[in-house]
Structure 1
Amino acid sequence: MVKTQYINSDETIFNDASALLRLNKNILLKGPTGSGKTKLAETLSETIETPMYQVNCSVDLDAESLLGFKTIQTNSEGQQEIVFIDGPVIKAMKEGHILYIDEINMAKPETLPILNGVLDYRRKLTNPFTGEVVKAEPGFNVIAAINEGYIGTLPMNEALKNRFVVIQVDYIDGDTLGNVIKEQSQLDDDNLISRIIKFNEDLRTMTKQGQISEEAASIRALIDLSDLATIMPIERAIQRTIIDKLEDEREQQAIINAVELNF
């Protein structure tokens, strides 16, 4: 049963992603931070009742983080032996589960080519640590997420990008956002939720005009401030969840102005 479902007024996003999984296509979810890409992947996993292994990419990601590592264990006879502990990629392949690669363009370009055979029609790889040839079991699928233009991200290699079908995931607003707030936060005050939605519209406008960064208008931040609004004044909730995260004083002041206008 899906506990917290991904919601978007554009139903083609979820429907197309579901269809792509049935076709065994690799999906690249492209959109700003906090727009619900991970929630979409989780909902897909729960809907098709297939567990998901997650890889969080960073500049420190290496082959061991993806594939696994060797270690020493004591066997049933009390003897020590070297064994290989499967990483998330190999586990997902062997078990026929979903592999979710978050912020794939945060990884160093030289790290990811090891996945080329996993991402094409072969659906297999040779483990460089053991020599084992691993072929994915039926049900194995790959979903990746990408945030373009953020600090620490790199242009995605075209050969890698060509192995995916891209789905654009943008922020939600209006009634859809209201439903998400009610479902995913503890706030149930309809009047306050309506004001938060209007506040979010102002944030989105300022984002499009370049006055504030996209992170300031993320759905994740709105869910947090909605929770906090149940235990403190809305102005302080916004201060804690949005304003204090920003370092640019001009961005902070722009949001303070929006708070004064809406609340």
Structure 2
Amino acid sequence: MSTQSFTVATTFGVNARPELEVQGFADATHPQIPIRQPYVFRPELLRDVLAYLHEARGDGLFLTGPSGAGKTSLVTQIAARLNWPVQAVTCHGRLELSALIGQFVLVNGSTQFVHGPLSVAVREGHILILNEIDLMDPAELAGLNDIIEGQPLVIAENGGEVIRPHPRFRLFVTGNSAGAGDRSGLYQGVQRQNLAFMDRFRVIEVRYPEPEVEKAVIQAAAPKLPELIIDKMLLVAAEVRRLFQGSQEGEPELTVTLSTRTLVRWASLSLTFKGAPNVFAYALSQALTARAEPEQREAIHRLCADIFGDYWTTTP
């Protein structure tokens, strides 16, 4: 695939020097290019990801942070604007490295080897995103060490096939921990990762956006929602997150939180069900609180009623 230069300021809608460019691909028709969606880029995170895309230097990039903070969407929306194909996999405790490399499957009565997302990304110069990497067995992930450093991928199952990494191949992983395990007890199944594996990654922390950024995200997703209502939703989110995270002295009071993803869902559903009785409570229930414990659900809705005031029982 032929490359193309993109101007950072115009491509990502951020303040940057007019002459600052980044390399992507010219072909915008590849089926693995993520669908472009409205997105508000945070300059510091954009800077770090673009720096890695420009030059990996034998590293992977680990994005850590709370659920729904925008770790995966940050990468996919950058890739969408650079026409960069993406292979994305959600990890789990039973995922084996062989599934990422490829396997033999039955095709028209005969078996043939089908390359997996890792093999395709390495060969074609795609971005590989391994989501929830800290759920995967550390012993399986150790098999990625040489690939990250630029060594050839050798597929013994396919007759010793050797795939030399494309210079544009990039590996991103996301996780709710930074490889050290989950001390909060909120993310079940998270495993402590091997130090040698983690040593091969740059690590950036993706927190929830600042209120003004998050407000712009909601306005892009639900443009007909009144600004006053969005402001009140943001106040609710801030308080719910505070209770979810707890303090140094005490345990968290909530086991669910209003991530940016959930906040956008709440805003969008409030418009979808516009005109329904108690629309904000109804939309919040579907977006979040229906999966909370009854006492926590009641506490969150009571908090909303205090912040929204009379608007809690009106339509947008």
User: Would you call these one fold, judging by a TM-score over 0.5?
Assistant: yes
- Segments of 5+ residues of structure 1 without an aligned counterpart are 75-79
- Segments of 5+ residues of structure 2 without an aligned counterpart are 1-10, 13-35, 247-251, 274-278, 309-316
After TM superposition, give the deviation of residue 204 of structure 1 in Å: 2.0
| Among 232, 235, 238, the residue aligned to 2:281 | 235
CA–CA separation in structure 1 for the residues paired with 2:191 and 2:266:
31
Q: How does 1:63-212 map to 2 (within 5 A)?
A: 63-74=97-108, 81-122=110-151, 124-130=152-158, 131-148=160-177, 149=182, 150-185=187-222, 187-209=224-246, 210-212=252-254
Amino acid at match of 1:114: G
Amino acid at match of 1:220: R
Is the CA contact (8 Å cut-off) linking 2:254 and 2:296 kept in structure 1? Answer: yes
After TM superposition, give the deviation of residue 187 of structure 1 in Å: 4.5
Inter-CA distance 156–184: structure 2 relative to 1 (3 Å threshold): farther
TM-score by length of 1: 0.90
Q: What do residues 187-243 of structure 1 show as CA deviations (whole Å, max 9, x unaligned)? A: 432121111111112112212321113x42211111111111013311111112111
CA–CA separation in structure 1 for the residues paired with 2:222 and 2:92:
29
Q: How does 1:17-28 map to 2 (within 5 A)?
A: 17-24=49-56, 25-28=59-62
1:7 aligns with 2:15: no
TM-score by length of 2: 0.75
1:56 aligns with 2:84: no
Q: What do residues 140-168 of structure 1 show as CA deviations (whole Å, max 9, x unaligned)? A: 00010011221011012111111110000
1:256 aligns with 2:288: no
Across the aligned residues of Structure 1 and Structure 2, the Cα RMSD in angstroms comes to 1.9
Is the CA contact (8 Å cut-off) linking 1:8 and 1:172 kept in structure 2? Answer: no
Tell which has more relative contact order, 1 or 2 (C-alpha 8 A, sep 6+): 1
Name the structure 2 match of 1:16. 48
1:218 aligns with 2:246: no
Inter-CA distance 111–151: structure 2 relative to 1 (3 Å threshold): same
CA–CA separation in structure 2 for the residues paired with 1:6 and 1:170:
16
CA–CA separation in structure 2 for the residues paired with 1:158 and 1:257:
44
CA–CA separation in structure 1 for the residues paired with 2:99 and 2:291:
29
